[in-house]
Amino acid sequence: MIQTFFNVEIIAAAWPIVLSGLLNTVLLSLIVVPLGLFGGLILALLASVKSPWVRWPLMAWVDFFRAFPPLVLLILLFAGLPFAGLELGGFACVAIAFFLNTGSYYGEIFRAGIESVPQGQVEAGRSTGLSRLQAMGYIVLPQAVRNVLPDLLSNTLEVVKLTSLGSVVAVPELLYQARQAQSLTYNPTPIVVAAVIYFLMLWPLVRLLSRLENRALAGRR
Partner 1 sequence: MTTWERFLDTFFNGKVMLKYLPDILSGMVVTIELALLIVFSGLAAGLALALIRSLAIRPLNWLIIFIVDLFRSLPPLVIIVLMYFGLPYAEVSPSGFVSTWLSLALVLMAFSEEIFWAGITSVHKGQWEASRSTGLSFGQTLMNVVLPQALRLTIPPLTNRTIAITKGTALGTVVAVTEILGEASSAVSNSYNPSPLMMGAAAYLVLFLPVVVLARRLEKRFAWKR
Distances (CA, A) of 73 to 27, 65, 104: 21, 9, 13
Footprint (CB under 8 A) of partner 1, residues 70-109 = 70-72, 75-76, 79-80, 83-84
Q: Amino acid letter at 201?
A: M
SS3 134: helix
Nearest distance from C-beta of residue 119 to partner 1, angstroms: 14
CB of 165 to partner 1, least distance (A): 6
Which of these, 77, 125, 131, 123, lies nearest to 99 by C-alpha position? 77
Considering only 162, 169, 171, 181, the residue that binds partner 1 (CB under 8 A) is 162
* Backbone Cα Rg of the chain: 21
Residue 116 backbone phi and psi in degrees, to 5:
-80, -10
Counting contacts by CB under 8 A, is residue 179 touching partner 1?
yes
Single-letter amino acid code for the residue at 48: S
Q: Judged by CB under 8 A, which stretch of 34-42, 62-70, 126-134, 138-146 contacts partner 1?
A: 62-70
* Site residue total, partner 1 (CB under 8 A): 53
DSSP category for residue 139: I
Interface residue list for partner 1 (CB under 8 A): 1, 4-5, 63-64, 66-72, 75-76, 79-80, 83-84, 116, 157-158, 161-165, 167-168, 175, 179, 182, 187-188, 191-192, 194-195, 198-199, 201-203, 205-207, 209-210, 213-214, 217-218, 220-221
